[in-house]
Structure 1
Amino acid sequence: MNTHTPAALLAALLLAAPAVTASPSDGPASQGPTSHGPTSHDPASHAPTLPTLPAVTVPVAPVAPAGTTVRLTVTGPAPATTAPTPDGATAPAPAPRTVTLRCDPAGGDHPRADEACADLDATQGRIDRESDTACILLYDPVEVRAEGVWHGRPVSFARQYGNTCELNARTGAVFAF
């Protein structure tokens, strides 16, 4: 198939269409050449003249930046002792703590929302990051979860850290509540 055929066909159609021209001195629009005078052989004179449309201004609503709302949950660390009490009962498992972090502007019920939003912005929404902080090698696990959106992008994060020192070093103020 010849790739120039559609363009050639379009050009032929435009040249074959009667020219519509109007000027203030002509009165009503005249339809192309007639038998009342000589015809022009200029191809541009055969191209249809389209009317000029008035300019239209369409109001555009301002685009609000996609917000950040993340539900954060921390479970742990375990109670200070897991040894049974004298009556044989064991200490209860830690209850999960949950807060909501909102950014742009910082808010929600996170106690350090400004710092947590700054930490997320610095890592482009990544919750976990590398850290050079040295933590004690004490296994006292902390489980964390984050669900929501950061600047319109979905966030789903869950991880267990060895202790609160490792959690704070790797997540900054995000889970500091």
Structure 2
Amino acid sequence: MLRRSAAISAAALLCLTGAAGTAEAGSTSLYAPSAVVLSIGKGADSGSLTVLRATTLSCMPGPSGTHPDPEAACAELKGGFAGAGFDGLLASPDRDRACPQHFDPVTVTLDGVWEGARTSWQHTFSNACVMGTTLNGGEAFAF
């Protein structure tokens, strides 16, 4: 009887967490998925963007993807930005580094699923130098 109760409890837990459908799709994780596509491109917004580089990053159930350092990138994205969302990736530009004052826009994007919810984020920098001095940590977009 105890064995049957444990089986029923496990099935109930899967149904309540929504993991039953996930388990059927091949995953055995009870954690919400976090998998995104990161891109860097020329242009002022995602509508006119010419993608220069892109990579995939999966952080749940474990760091993986085509990103060159998925562990560091996941740690940066999971770091918590005190309610700022992905805008927490941005910092004040490094004042010790001079950048040219020309306008050659570069846009970074993040699209996918984060902690089980659909997400889309983008930010445009005036040029690649400003992007390099403004990204806080820079691990997520270091590809």
Q: Same fold (TM over 0.5)?
A: yes
TM-score normalized with structure 2 length? 0.61
CA distance, structure 1, for counterparts of residue 76 and residue 130 of structure 2: 16
SS of 2:71 mapped into structure 1: helix
Equivalent position of 2:98 in the other structure: 136
Between Structure 1 and Structure 2, which shows a larger proportion of helix residues? 2
CA distance in 1, matches of 2:70, 2:85: 16
Instruction: Provide the rounded CA distance (Å) in 1 between the counterparts of 2:129 and 2:80.
Output: 19
| Residue 170 (1) aligns with residue 135 (2) | yes
What is the TM-score normalised by the length of structure 1?
Answer: 0.51
Greater C-alpha Rg? 1
- 8 Å CA contact retained: 1:73, 1:146: yes
Structure 1 position 108, deviation (Å): 0.4
Counterpart for residue 100 of structure 1: 56
Report how far residue 118 of structure 1 moved: 0.8
Aligned residues: 109
Map 1:23-172; keep pairs closer than 5 Å: 57=5, 58-60=8-10, 61=13, 64-76=30-42, 95-104=51-60, 105-123=62-80, 126-129=85-88, 130-132=90-92, 133-134=94-95, 135-138=97-100, 139=102, 140-168=104-132, 169-171=134-136, 172=138
1:158 alignment partner AA: Q
5+ residue gaps in structure 2?
18-29, 44-48
State the structure with bigger RCO (CA 8 A, min sep 6), 1 or 2.
2
Letter in 1 for 2:91: S
